[in-house]
Structures are given as structure tokens and as C-alpha cells.
Chains A and B, each alone.
Chain A
Amino acid sequence: MERAGESSVRELAEREMAVSGSALEDAVLAERAKAGDRAAFEQLYRGHAGRAYALCLRLAGNAHDAEDLLQEAFVRAWQKLHTFRGDSAFGTWFHRLSVNVVIGALRAKLRMRPADYVECPGRAASASPGLRLDLEAAIAQLPDGARIVFVLHDVEGYRHPEIAALLGIAVGTSKVQLHRARHALRKELGS
């Protein structure tokens, strides 16, 4: 049993190495953070804030909410660190947790404003230079439902059944939202 344990630990280490050179470093930091080491947790924050902020910003559609959500995600991560077993990279675990935090917050918003589902997207800030910024602005301008499905599917690589489960909607609804989002973005960027 001991040998099996050892080899699985080595396999895990190798797998994590393959994923990213910093994954092992993250694993060590996460272990330390689990034991209450705030400095180690801050280092994890430094390493993962950018990726998480990109997610929050695109899902929320504005910087103010994104900042709140990012902070909430890290606070939640600190509270749930004991559930991080190291069988995936910390980044993967944290990203999944962030998605849940953001969607949890935005679902309440979606329930409060169902009209967003049929709203037409406003014009993106035309002053923003460069296509990438235009695209980011256009995504931000999408109605909440369409934007969230689009970001999860096209940016984050989630599949419709996963999105449907996350948002508590039908798979068909998820597809319709994606269709609306892409159509609106094509029009926005083509104009």
C-alpha cells in the first residue's frame, strides 16, 4: 500500500509538472495556506488574480462588480482550502471555485432582471482603440444572460450541458443565448 501511495504521489507530481512549472510551487503554497499561512495565500493571490480577474470581468461585464467578485472568490478559497486535495492543480481548483462564486452571484441578478434576456445590446464604447478592446467592450455590452453563456462557452470552454447545470437553465436555452451573443457580436464587430 505504501509503495502504491508513493508512486501515486510521484505520478501526481509529474502530472502537475507537465501542466505547469508553477503548479508544484502552488501545491506547496496551498499546503502552507491550508495551515493558516497568510503570506503563502497572498502569493497564490499574486499568481492567480489576473486569470481570475479576467473571468470575473467578462462574466460581470463591469470592473466594479468584477473587483467585488474577485475578492469574494479569494475569501471563499481561503475558507474552502481544506477541501483542496491536490488531485488537480491549484489553478484548476481555484478557477472552478471562481466560476461558481461568480455564477452564484450573477444568478441572483439574472433572477431579479429576467428582462435582460430579451434586451438588445447597447452600443459598445466606440472610442476604445483596437479590436481586442472593441471585442471586450462588445462582450460587456451583451445582455447578462447572453454574455454569461458566451463567456462560459466561447472563452472558458464550458459545454452547454455544464452551463445549463451551472445556471439552472435548459440546454436549449443555453444554446439560444450563445446564438444571440455571437450574432450580436458579429454585427457589432462588423459594423
Chain B
Amino acid sequence: MTCQEVLECLDDYVDGQLPEDDARELREHVESCCTCREEEAAARVLASHVAGLPKSVPPARELWPGIAVRLDALEAPRRAWKFRVNGLALLTAAATLAVIAAGAYSFLEGGAARRDGPAPGIVLSSTPAACLGSDAGLEQAQAEQLAALRDCEKALAPQTIRIVRENLDILDAASRTLCSAIEEDPANPHLMLRWMALQQRKIGMLAAVVRLSGAG
């Protein structure tokens, strides 16, 4: 083997990929040639240093926020699309909301226990007009809801009550956001439909709570 041939085979040799016959020729050459011996030693040193490179290198700066922003951008059109579909489905829901609400009202009224004071069906008072008209209307609606919830509390596990309250808070926060959106864009039918759907969820949840407390 010539020096040039050794140099050409060195990668495969160091990687253990050189056929045994060639490897033997290479070893024979290297034993008698200083230059190639140094080259082979350098190749092994390089390989050992490369093997010692860290597997993990932390980025010098926080990169997650940039990723989160891009994920948001990905989600935005998908959410809008979902929303349109929901909007179509809610056309029916909007038309029948009054019926559902009335049904829930009477269900709640005739529920497990008859109660004095504000009926759990207070959600009905929380119309978009009330919501848009003043915060006072919204606050009263919430107060009534909580009063209704208190009526059921004794019959329910604290855990259940906590979950219900958390969910109410979430729904209320969503409701407030939607209200301000409706104020900015009163002609947007999607916003109104969403608001109605939100009320529907409240009714459904309160009805479920009353049902649970009745069974308990």
C-alpha cells in the first residue's frame, strides 16, 4: 500500500469497515511509515474527541415563546373553522334556545326540592340585552346563580361543588369576553350564537347539579 492509498482507506479502517486483507496491508505500511502512523493516530484521537462531544447543548436563549407564537398562528385558522361549523350547528340551537331554557327552568323548578327565593333558572335573566345593558345585570345574574348553587350545596360533595364553581367561573369569564366582543361588533351573528351557546351550557350544568343533589 502506498501513502496515498493508506490515506484513502484510513476512514474505513478507523471505522472498522475495511476488509481484513486491506486492513493487514494498511497495518504493515503504517508500522514502517512515520507520516501515516501520525495520520492514523490523529484519526483515532479525533474519533475519541468526537465521541466525547456532549449529546445535549442547551440553547443560549429561551426559544419556547417563539414556538408557542407559531403554534398559536397554526391554531387560529383551525379555531375559526371550528367556530364556523359550530355557528351553523348553533343556528338551530339559537332558534330553540328559548325552549330549552324554559324546559330547564321548569325542570329546575320541579327538581329534587322546591326552594324559596331565586329559582336556579336565573340564567334566563342573563340575556344578551342584560349583559350588554350594564354590569349590574350581569352581576345580579351571577349572584342568583350562586344562590341557586348554595341551595344544592348541602347535598353535594365539596369536590363536586368546587368543580361546579370552577366551571361557572370559566363560563362567566368566557361570557364577559364575549360580551365585550359583542359590544365592539354588535352585528356579528357568530358572537351572539356563541353567547347563546354559553348560556345553554350554564343551564345544562345547573340542571345537572340539581339532578345530582336530588339523587344524593
A110 contacts partner chain B, Cβ-Cβ < 8 Å? no
- Choose among A41, A71, A155, A185 the residue that contacts B63 (Cβ–Cβ < 8 A): A71
| A67-B63, A175-B11 as given contacts; A50 in contact with B57, CB under 8 Å | yes
**Distance (Å) between the CB of B55 and the closest chain A CB?**
6
Q: Kindly list chain A residues whose C-beta atoms are within 8 Å of the C-beta of B57.
A: 50, 53-54, 57
Report the Cα distance A50→B11, complex, angstroms: 29
The secondary-structure label for the interface of chain A is: helix
B53 touches A182 (CB 8 A): no
| A42-B64, A71-B67 as given contacts; A189 in contact with B46, CB under 8 Å | yes
B68 contacts partner chain A, Cβ-Cβ < 8 Å? yes
Most buried by A among B39, B42, B47, B61: B42
Task: Look across to chain B and name the residue whose beta carbon is closest to the beta carbon of A63.
Answer: B60
Report the Cα distance A79→B42, complex, angstroms: 44
Task: Look across to chain B and name the residue whose beta carbon is closest to the beta carbon of A36.
Answer: B75
Q: Kindly list chain B residues whose C-beta atoms are within 8 Å of the C-beta of A71.
A: 63, 66-67, 70
A135 touches B53 (CB 8 A): yes
B74 contacts partner chain A, Cβ-Cβ < 8 Å? yes
Q: Kindly list chain A residues whose C-beta atoms are within 8 Å of the C-beta of B54.
A: 54, 132
Q: Kindly list chain B residues whose C-beta atoms are within 8 Å of the C-beta of A41.
A: 71
A78 touches B74 (CB 8 A): yes
Q: Kindly list chain A residues whose C-beta atoms are within 8 Å of the C-beta of B49.
A: 131-132, 135, 189
**Distance (Å) between the CB of B110 and the closest chain A CB?**
39
Task: Look across to chain A and name the residue whose beta carbon is closest to the beta carbon of B53.
Answer: A155
The secondary-structure label for the interface of chain B is: helix
A70 touches B56 (CB 8 A): no
B11 touches A179 (CB 8 A): yes
A182 touches B43 (CB 8 A): yes
**Distance (Å) between the CB of A77 and the closest chain B CB?**
10
Report the Cα distance A42→B57, complex, angstroms: 18
Chain A residues 75-95 with CB under 8 Å of chain B are: 75, 78-79
B52 contacts partner chain A, Cβ-Cβ < 8 Å? yes
Report the Cα distance A51→B52, complex, angstroms: 14
User: Mask for A131-143, Cβ within 8 A of B = 1, else 0?
Assistant: 1100110000000
14 A-B residue pairings within 8 Å (CB atoms): A49-B64, A50-B58, A53-B58, A54-B55, A67-B59, A75-B67, A135-B53, A155-B50, A179-B11, A182-B11, A182-B43, A186-B42, A186-B43, A190-B42
Given contacts A51-B56, A67-B63, A78-B74, 8 further A-B contacts (CB under 8 A): A45-B64, A53-B57, A67-B61, A70-B59, A79-B74, A136-B53, A179-B8, A186-B39
Shortest 9 CB-CB distances between A and B: which pairs? Answer: A50-B56, A54-B57, A186-B42, A53-B59, A50-B58, A51-B56, A74-B67, A75-B70, A154-B50
